[in-house]
Amino acid sequence: MDLTETQISSTAIHDASFLKVYQDQIRLPNGNSSQRLVIRHPGAACVLAITPENQVVLVRQWRYATGQALLEIPAGKLDEGEDPAQCALRELAEETPYSAERVEKILHFYSAPGFCDEVLHVYRAINVQANSTLQPDADEFVETVLYSAEQVRQAIANNEICDAKTLIALQTWLMGQS
């Protein structure tokens, strides 16, 4: 079955920030036309960083859209033209008092493919080290939290962890432990 939907036209509703919003007119596989509201996002990278003590490096930060602080792996939007691996290394060092020698790709995924093109690139940090310095942006408020595998298991079971990228990365970690 041909599933392809094609663009007929696209109207920008908002393009003044990193998120751009379009109302597109599209052609369905059966020839009918329809509409799609589409959110365009530059993409992001995130990192599963395990310390030498076998704890995962998490960050707690306010998520305005959700009205609460969430526990997540370090992550950030890609700068224009930025290599996602570099972005993952940068975010770990900027958001936490840890850094890594390098990162290896685990996988990528779409966070909300029904309406948004955001791709999350998920990395595993190699040779994680504690740093003495942490210099976040003046307007960035992030706490570092370290969890053992057992604490992660518990935090998934009781749904304390409820962020997509964090669940995917931590499940990957737990599956590698067993």
Which residues lie near a copy of itself (CB under 8 A)?
1, 3-5, 13-14, 17, 19, 21, 23-24, 26, 28-30, 32, 34-41, 44, 60-67, 69-70, 72, 77, 107-118, 120, 138-139, 141, 143, 156, 159, 162-165, 167-168, 171-172, 174-175, 178
Q: Which is nearer to a copy of itself, 5 or 150 (CB)?
A: 5
Q: Which is nearer to a copy of itself, 8 or 130 (CB)?
A: 8
Q: Tell me the three state secondary structure of residue 172.
A: helix
Q: Which is nearer to a copy of itself, 112 or 126 (CB)?
A: 112
Distances in whole angstroms, Cα of residue 57 to Cα of each of 4, 39, 61, 177: 41, 30, 13, 16
CB of 54 to a copy of itself, least distance (A): 19
Q: Which is nearer to a copy of itself, 53 or 139 (CB)?
A: 139
CB of 6 to a copy of itself, least distance (A): 9
- Yes or no: say if 120 and 75 are a contact pair by the CB < 8 Å rule: yes
- CA-to-CA distance for 65 and 68, rounded, in angstroms? 8
- CA-to-CA distance for 6 and 69, rounded, in angstroms? 39
- CA-to-CA distance for 157 and 149, rounded, in angstroms? 12
Q: Which is nearer to a copy of itself, 51 or 76 (CB)?
A: 76
CB of 35 to a copy of itself, least distance (A): 8
Q: Tell me the three state secondary structure of residue 118.
A: coil
Taking alpha carbons only, the member of 100, 108, 105 closest to residue 50 is 100
The upper half-sphere exposure of residue 88, i.e. CA atoms within 13 Å in the direction of its Cβ, equals 28
CB of 168 to a copy of itself, least distance (A): 5
CB of 91 to a copy of itself, least distance (A): 12
